[in-house]
Amino acid sequence: MRLYVITGDRGDELETARIVEAALDGGATIIQLRKKSMPMVEQYPLATALRTLTLAHEALLIINDHADLAIAADADGVHLGQDDLPPDAVRALPGFEGRLIGRSTHSLGQAQLAMNEGADYIAVGPVYPTPTKEGRAAVGTALVSRVAGIVDRPFVAVGGIDHDNAAAVVEAGAHAIAVVRAVYDAVDPAEAARRLHELIVTRLEVARR
């Protein structure tokens, strides 16, 4: 996990696939399909199109919230919020075997619980204020550092992260960052993804020295 790109709500199947392909060309290693207002009947063909693209780029495809769609599209996993089913219930679903479960967390306690519940990776945030999580208070880089100190599996920092503040997030302990607007809404998604991926890798190399 390095650059985790989440789809924005705007755009039909063709536009979303175009943006995702550009993000993959730029270095995105995980794509999450998140379309809160798109009907499921439209999300299924989009998910299958993204599955083809991610396989071609050796990247992972994660479906937000909907384990049934993840199974139907043969995605690599599902990402669950705090109000979704617990990880063990999702893992027991027929056809879910071998897939990943991610869990959104907003506090140290939630991060610890997600690990105890068996999530394969956790997301920590929102690090900074973001319109994609209206009403959710930003947790800041301090929580990223605290989670980095206890986590025993991959985690990704998410929320309001862009090229201007991503370095601070990596320096706080995140080895991966998730973005929506910084890539999905960029004029040049491929270039935006390339710059972010390069920043993450460079900062991690500096931290190892």
Check pLDDT > 90 for residue 206.
no
Q: If you ran DSSP here, which 8-state letter would residue 102 be given?
A: E
Calculate the average pLDDT of the chain.
Answer: 95
Which residues are registered as beta bridge partners of 157? 124, 177
Catalytic residue among 51, 99, 104, 195: 104
Determine the length of the chain: 209
Longest dimension (CA), the chain: 49
- 209 pLDDT band, cuts 50/70/90, is confident
Determine the pLDDT at residue 109.
Answer: 97
Distance CA 90, CA 79 (A): 10
Q: Which long-range contacts (CB under 8 A, 24 or more apart) does 98-105 make?
A: 99/70, 99/71, 99/75, 100/60, 100/62, 100/76, 101/77, 102/62, 102/77, 102/78, 102/156, 103/79, 104/79, 104/80, 104/158, 105/147
Catalytic residue among 34, 103, 194, 195: 34
Each residue of 74-103: pLDDT tens digit? 999 999 999 999 999 999 999 999 999 999
Determine the pLDDT at residue 136.
Answer: 77
- 2 is annotated as an active-site residue: no
- 36 is annotated as an active-site residue: no
Going from N- to C-terminal start, the domains of the chain cover 3-208
Distance CA 189, CA 155 (A): 23
Catalytic residue among 133, 136, 146, 181: 133
- 104 is annotated as an active-site residue: yes
Q: Which fold has domain 3-208?
A: TIM Barrel (3.20.20)
